[in-house]
Amino acid sequence: MSFRFWYSSSCSVVCLALLYIVVFNGLSLYGLIKSTYTPVSLPTSRRNIYLAYLRYDRFLRKCKNPHLSKKPLPLTALASFPGSGNTWVRHILQEATGILTGSVYNDSILKIKGFPGEGIQNASVLAIKTHSELNATMKFKRAILIVRNPKDAILAEFNRMKGGHIGYAKIEDFKKDWKIHVNNSARNWFYMNKSWLNFHGDLHVIRYEKLKAHPNIEIQHLVDFLQINVTQKELQCVCGNLRGDFKRPARNITDPYTKEMAYILMTYEKQIDRLINQRLRYTKKENS
């Protein structure tokens, strides 16, 4: 009798767990599609989006369970042009430090999927996401600026606008809206980065490409800037869990940029590179 009772109870627990998993992921998927922040157009592959949100192993592979800071932290901007890896860096920061990141936005999907600090803009979070230019707010004491080459950043943002967080724009989207998007985004990329390079407080610049190529070195520089101690073991864990939940699946696509577009973006990128070098030289003089 006791065995039957135990067996029945075990089955009930398993069924409830499976029901929870199905409902939770179903609601998350529905929210991703219907989110006011993420356009309703679905990615090219529904299978990719389904599998990405069915990754339960992320709970097992977390380095730390992030929480709000128990002590007030300096208000720190995590600034970037859209499509430059802001969400990725937030994931890295939370994995490395165990402290939640905030945002000037309130994306319900990000809040559900690993960033419960969405919408928080106070001293309880490690850094606050923003895509605005510096003159939009002067409240920050220090800032992290993520700079990604404009061709990849502008394309990534176009895919997000048309295909959601982990989807891709369709061929018809490129035919209809791509040229206007590039024309508007090129100047925005330049002025957004230029404005933050004039930040009045301490500034740490992350080059997206360097972070991707040498994550252990760049993450160490990042946590040093934030004055947070991270052990080598913790750093190894972060480097082993770099991906996060919002990385777009790799896909080979034809370069959508015309020669004229590429030349304009290269010109803007060279100007920003010069400004970064000037800022770094100035910072070194201040510290010497």
Distances, alpha carbon 194 to alpha carbons 50, 66, 99, 189, 274, in Å: 38, 32, 29, 9, 10
Residue 126 in any domain: the answer is yes
The pTM score is 0.76
Nearest C-alpha neighbor of 169 from the set 51, 251, 261: 251
CA pair distance 283, 288, nearest whole angstrom: 9
Query: What residue has token string 């010109």?
Result: 267
At 17, is the secondary structure helix, strand, or coil?
Answer: helix
pLDDT at 244 (0 to 100): 67
Q: What is the mean pLDDT of residues 80-84?
A: 96
| Residue 29 in this model has a pLDDT that exceeds 50 | no
Please report, for the domain that includes residue 277, its CATH number: 3.40.50
Average pLDDT, the chain: 81
Residue 26 in any domain: the answer is no
Residue 263 in any domain: the answer is yes
CA pair distance 125, 105, nearest whole angstrom: 14
Q: What is the mean pLDDT of residues 1-30?
A: 52
| Residue 52 in this model has a pLDDT that exceeds 60 | no
| Residue 258 in this model has a pLDDT that exceeds 80 | yes
At 181, is the secondary structure helix, strand, or coil?
Answer: helix
Report whether 38 contacts 110 (CB < 8 A): no
Out of 11-20, 98-107, 252-261, pick the least confident: 11-20
At 36, is the secondary structure helix, strand, or coil?
Answer: coil
- Per-residue b/e over 123-158, b at no fewer than 16 CB within 10 Å? bbbbbbbbbebbeeeeebebbbbbbbbbbebbbbbb
Q: Give the residue with greater pLDDT, 255 vs 147.
A: 147
* Structural domain of 191: 35-287
Residue 224 in any domain: the answer is yes
Q: How many domains are contained in the chain?
A: 1
pLDDT in tens, 101-127: 999 999 998 998 899 999 999 999 999
Residue 10 in any domain: the answer is no
Residue 209 in any domain: the answer is yes
Residue 223 in any domain: the answer is yes
Query: How far out from the chain centre does Cα 269 lie?
Result: 21
Using the Cα atoms of residue 126, residue 244, residue 109 and residue 15 in order, give the sign of their dihedral: negative
Using the Cα atoms of residue 264, residue 132, residue 31 and residue 66 in order, give the sign of their dihedral: positive
Looking only at the bridges linking them, the beta strands covering 76-80 and 128-130 are parallel
Nearest C-alpha neighbor of 131 from the set 174, 81, 171, 181: 81
- What's 217-248 look like in SS3? HHHHHHHHHCCCCCCHHHHHHHHCCCCCCCCC
Q: Give the residue with greater pLDDT, 232 vs 35.
A: 232
pLDDT at 234 (0 to 100): 94
Question: What stretch of H or E contains 270?
Answer: helix 259-287
pLDDT in tens, 161-193: 887 766 778 888 888 899 999 999 999 999 999
Q: How confident is the model at residue 44 (pLDDT cuts 50, 70, 90)?
A: very low
Residue 19 in any domain: the answer is no
- DSSP code per residue over 80-121: E-TTSSHHHHHHHHHHHH-B--EESS--HHHHHTT-TTTT--
Distances, alpha carbon 154 to alpha carbons 33, 54, 186, 190, in Å: 22, 28, 8, 11
Report whether 94 contacts 66 (CB < 8 A): yes
CA pair distance 117, 114, nearest whole angstrom: 9
